[in-house]
Amino acid sequence: MRLRSLSSVLLVLATAVAASNAPAATEYQCGAGGKPNSGTKKCDCPTGKAESTDGKGVSRCIAKPAAAPTPTPKPTVKPAPTPTVTATTTGTSKPTNTTIIVTPAPTPTPTATSAPTIAIPTATAKAGPVPTVVTTAAPPILLGCPSGMIYVSGGTYKPPHYSKVMTVVPFCMDVTEVTVKSYASCVAGKKCGEPHGKYASSANLGGANANEPFCNWNHPKGRETHPINCVDFAEADAFCVAVGKRLPFSEEWEWAARGGAKATTYPWGNTEPSPSASNLCFGECPPNYTTKYPGSSHPTSFAGADVYPETSPVGAFPMENFGFYDLGGNVSEITRSLGGFSNYARGGSFFSVQPNEVIITDEHYSNVEPMNGFRCALTPDIDDAPKKTSLPPF
């Protein structure tokens, strides 16, 4: 049956091709519905039939062949545009605090020259509009921290010497302790006075200015990169105000030293003090003390030794919590106490001889001592430095 149908189709196509060049009919076999036309010498065929004359001059009515379909032009599809990425930085000194807004590109709309518009789906296409995605890399900073300071996120904790939970707002604090060079610049600009304590050899100890062989001001070796020490609270506070900052509150200092919610025992973590962690009074310290104060001793409980029997350049020891240096040693740091109580010095120093003098909760009076120095702080969202040095909203 398939062969016969194929033969019939081929016969019809051959007949249609030959019809245009066939001679006039000499015989009529028009078939049902067809009528011979002696004038045209062809068959007048009914609807749906076509006249065909074969090579022998026989005119017939045959079925019209189906018209070939008109091909539809392919639509032209525009490529999808590249998504737009916009990055904005909040703050002035924390480039990791960046808000990235990613706006997806619009779905491409294909166009066609003559055929209707056709949307061609892809394997990843989803129905409905695609929303804008906002990704925040870090908590925003309202005003940012100046260069040389670290942003400390706020939080709550209960200091062991208080009966209530304290709330610390975000603040900025100096990466290192204030150096002799920085303090000298303030003195040269007549914004600071010379510190109470100055260097003095062991033969010239004492006096109204509490001169010491361990004081770094006027030290014969310069010590410009060492921390300024032998200052009192007023001198430390005046320096911070002069540079547009303030002294850190004792609670801020402790929050930074403990690593915030990490609550470590020491500013560098929970491991016991060692010569590789911080500048404390290790084995090199007692002999140096006896040399400066003949007949006196300063025994230590710490084992080992480091290369600094007194202060070291700031940042000479490994980084501590939040990225600070020397919170756990070198010099203790004068702070402002909350509520106007006594102003304490916090942290260990090159004079510290046992662990309980180095833990983050230790504090002692901020007298003019070789072991006391300071660093500055700033709360950018409430401070109007250098004029405003009031309490933050704890």
pLDDT digits (tens, 9 = 90+) for 161-210: 777 888 999 999 999 999 999 999 999 999 999 998 888 876 555 555 56
Burial of 42 (0-12, 13-18, 19+ CB in 10 A): buried
Residue 365 has pLDDT above 70, yes or no: yes
| pLDDT recorded at residue 121 | 38
Handedness of CA 308, 311, 314, 315 (dihedral sign): positive
| pLDDT recorded at residue 237 | 95
Handedness of CA 113, 116, 122, 125 (dihedral sign): positive
Q: How many CA atoms lie within 13 A of 167 on its CB side?
A: 4
For the chain, which residues make up each domain, given as ranges? 14-63, 138-177+237-394
Alpha carbon 327 to its chain's center? 25
Q: CB neighbours (10 Å) of residue 54?
A: 17
Residue 246 has pLDDT above 80, yes or no: yes
Categorize the per-residue pLDDT at 149 as very low, low, confident or very high, splitting at 50, 70 and 90. very high
3-state secondary structure of 76: strand
Token couple for 231: 């200052």
Q: What is the mean pLDDT of residues 264-278?
A: 97
| pLDDT recorded at residue 219 | 94
Question: How far are the Cα atoms of 16, 29, 77, 105, 351 from residue 62, in angstroms, in the given order?
Answer: 9, 10, 45, 59, 120
Alpha carbon 177 to its chain's center? 26
**Architecture field, domain 138-177+237-394:** Alpha-Beta Complex (3.90)
